[in-house]
Amino acid sequence: MGPIETAWRHSASRRRALMSFAALLAGSPRLHAQLDPRSLKGHPRVPSLDEMMTAFDFEPVCFANMPLRLYDYMAHGGDSEWSIRRNREVFDWIETVSRPPVDVSSVDSSTSILGLAMDSPLMIAPSSRQADLHPDAEAGMYRGATAARVPMIVANRPSLSHEDIAAAADGPRWIQFYPNPNVTLSQRRLEGFQAAGAQAIVITVDQQATKFERDLHDRHLGGNPAPARESDEESEDFETPMGGPELYGLPVPGRLWYNWDYLDRIRQFIEVPILIKGILTAEDARLCIEHGFDGVVVSNHGARTLDYVPSTLEVLPEIVAEVGGAVPVLIDSGFRRGRDVYKALALGASGVCLGRAARWGLGAFGSLGVTRLLRILQTELKETMAENGRATVRAINDSAVRTDFP
């Protein structure tokens, strides 16, 4: 082999050169290559549960355990998914302010929300179709959360019956409710939720997108989008559109009718605290208080709602200021690390609800994965508190961070 051939043999091939260039770009500090990276993708084996180090480590294992169409049903956002990206980018705009550290063993992360004593300000956000993740479904999520001493908010329409979920563990459990214009049906469901042990009712009032571009891409790649549920709550009460604007991606009839009169009517059926979920403005938070509700959840539905809505952390300070301590303010959408939780607490949140991250734990390792993931976040929160000299949750206030929102 001559010198030219030898040089060619040892030079970078076109493919290898392109791969190296892509790796260089992905590692550039000026680019957000993957805001929720599948960080274990290059490993020669799947690490064990005990080797999981961050919440992100669970995501590629969960991904590998699921068909793409079901994974993407969980992962997708509305339209261009701009709001999903913003939910993660917002944490880059908040810096923690250092103070003399304290011994992590002295840190107390306990708190109380609506009379519920909690070891940490973490909760499981409501999310449906958990049978897509693991055969134990919501029962596994509830067992895992209870083992980590974290309360769970069960979705309005879970994969299992509320009675079966209740039998799986004995931890605190709230239940989500979607408004239904049939007041009689609403009453029956709300009374059933309370009979199943709901310690609070979380009413979701945000508007969901009616189409997801990622589903279309899955179809073009030879797969199918996630199937519609055979018994979807809203389809029971509204006719499927045969024509008109609903067929072109505009809001379905089951949305956009919500009003305060309805919420005031169904209050008479609820004997436990009521929180309103899906609040993104100070005005709506004020109305929640004026109508006598017991708490608000700042949420953009994990960016599964209409695209180009603000991230929840951006609007949290104005909502907290408007509420003025009258009711607890919870928050969700985009939280992955204990440091993320710390930043929300500093901006006034009473607690943080975990949606996709908790699902990664269930999809990766079942209930044990949920427990492990939650304990990782609890440890990260305590370490962040210790590093920044905040020995209690009450000591975390707006002096603990600097914000630079665009």
pLDDT by residue (tens digit) across 76-98? 888 889 899 999 999 999 999 99
Res. 214 pLDDT band, cuts 50 70 90? confident
Q: Distance between CA atoms of 358 and 352, rounded to whole angstroms?
A: 12
Confidence (pTM): 0.85
Residue-wise DSSP of 193-256: HHHTT-SSEEEE-PPBPS--HHHHHHHHTT--PPPPPTT-TGGGTSPPPSSSGGGGTPPPTTSS
Q: Does residue 231 surpass a pLDDT of 90?
A: no
Average of per-residue pLDDT across 241-253:
48
Average of per-residue pLDDT across 254-283:
92
Q: Distance between CA atoms of 115 and 104, rounded to whole angstroms?
A: 26
Residues ≥6 apart with Cβ < 8 Å to 312: 87, 280, 298, 299, 300, 331, 332, 333, 334
pLDDT by residue (tens digit) across 162-186? 999 999 999 999 999 999 999 999 9
pLDDT of the residue at 298:
98
Res. 100 pLDDT band, cuts 50 70 90? very high
190 torsion bin: left (phi>0), alpha (psi -120 to 50), beta (else): alpha
Res. 21 pLDDT band, cuts 50 70 90? very low
pLDDT of the residue at 158:
97
Q: Does residue 242 surpass a pLDDT of 70?
A: no
Backbone φ, ψ for residue 176 (5° rounding): -80, 150
Residue 153 exposure: Cα atoms within 13 Å on the Cβ side: 27
Average of per-residue pLDDT across 193-217:
85
CATH code for residues 73-209+260-403: 3.20.20.70
User: Structure tokens of 260?
Assistant: 């305060």
391, exposed or middle or buried, with CB in 10 Å at 0-12, 13-18, 19+? middle
Res. 216 pLDDT band, cuts 50 70 90? confident
pLDDT of the residue at 13:
52
Which DSSP state fits 46?
P
Q: Does residue 321 surpass a pLDDT of 80?
A: yes
State the Cα torsion 238-241-244-246 to the nearest 10°: 70
E strands within 90-191? 94-96, 111-113, 116-118, 122-124, 152-154, 173-177
Average of per-residue pLDDT across 8-23:
48
pLDDT of the residue at 28:
47
Res. 34 pLDDT band, cuts 50 70 90? very low
Res. 361 pLDDT band, cuts 50 70 90? very high
User: Structure tokens of 395?
Assistant: 């000591």
Is 168 strand, coil or helix?
A: coil
Decide which of 226 and 343 is more confident. 343
Average of per-residue pLDDT across 111-140:
97
Res. 212 pLDDT band, cuts 50 70 90? confident
pLDDT of the residue at 374:
98
Q: 174 with 201: CB under 8 angstroms? A: yes
Q: Does residue 250 surpass a pLDDT of 90?
A: no
| Average pLDDT value for the chain | 86
Q: Distance between CA atoms of 310 and 304, rounded to whole angstroms?
A: 12
Domain boundaries, the chain: 1-31, 73-209+260-403
Average of per-residue pLDDT across 340-367:
98
Average of per-residue pLDDT across 30-56:
70
Residue positions annotated with a catalytic role: 301
pLDDT by residue (tens digit) across 272-281? 999 999 999 9
Q: Does residue 313 surpass a pLDDT of 70?
A: yes
pLDDT by residue (tens digit) across 386-398? 999 999 999 999 9
User: Structure tokens of 94?
Assistant: 């908040």
35-44, 243-252, 312-321 — most confident range: 312-321
Inter-CA distances, 202 with 16, 194, 239, Å? 52, 12, 26
Res. 232 pLDDT band, cuts 50 70 90? very low
